[in-house]
């Protein structure tokens, strides 16, 4: 049996390492206008996405901050690790729907839907883990992203 570099391997990402990396990026002042402090979990052997069809990300929204709206062709499921805030979803007909969230809540943003994040705390950062189908869309040349 041959081993493929894209095969699912048993590996783990330690939270202490993730939190340290988020804090280092935040201290360096690096920000994504649409997602705050953003890191992608990568495959330990290839450096690419965690799996060929699924990507995992983590983002930190600093206290009191809001991100700019954007949309992308990937669908994303979010899990709030810590903090509280609101994600405004949608922009076409009528007002966006505000999804209020707190620690351990999950929410979903469908493909090509405008959204942005707001940290409701003035003291604590919000940290959100996400799972997306972006890698499969990128491999097919179908991933697009647009800023508002």
pLDDT tens per residue, range 12-59: 899 999 999 999 999 999 999 999 999 999 998 889 999 899 999 999
pLDDT of residue 26: 95
Q: Are strands 70-72 and 106-109 parallel, antiparallel or unpaired?
A: unpaired
Region of poorest pLDDT, from 66-70, 88-92, 144-148: 88-92
Placement of tokens 């690419």 in the chain: 48
Write down the pLDDT at residue 1: 46
Q: Is the pLDDT of residue 96 over 90?
A: no
Distance of CA 14 to the CA centre of its chain: 17
Query: Regarding beta strands 70-72 and 145-147, do their DSSP bridges make them parallel or antiparallel, or are they unpaired?
Result: antiparallel
Q: From 103, 55, 100, select the one nearest 79 (Cα to Cα).
A: 103
């Amino acid at each position: 049996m041959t081993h493929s570099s894209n095969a699912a391997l048993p590996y783990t990402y330690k939270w202490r390492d993730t939190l340290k990396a988020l804090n280092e990026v935040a201290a360096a002042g690096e920000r994504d206008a649409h997602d705050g402090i953003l890191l992608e979990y990568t495959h330990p052997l290839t450096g690419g996405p965690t799996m060929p069809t699924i990507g995992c990300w983590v983002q930190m929204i600093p206290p009191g901050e809001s991100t700019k709206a954007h949309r992308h062709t990937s669908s994303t499921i979010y899990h709030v690790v810590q903090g509280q805030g609101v994600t405004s979803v949608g922009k076409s007909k009528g007002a966006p729907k505000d999804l209020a969230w707190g620690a351990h809540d999950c929410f979903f943003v469908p493909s090509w839907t405008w959204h942005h994040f707001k940290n409701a705390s003035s003291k604590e950062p919000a940290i959100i883990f996400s799972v997306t189908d972006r890698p499969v869309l990128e491999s097919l040349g179908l991933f697009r992203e647009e800023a508002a």
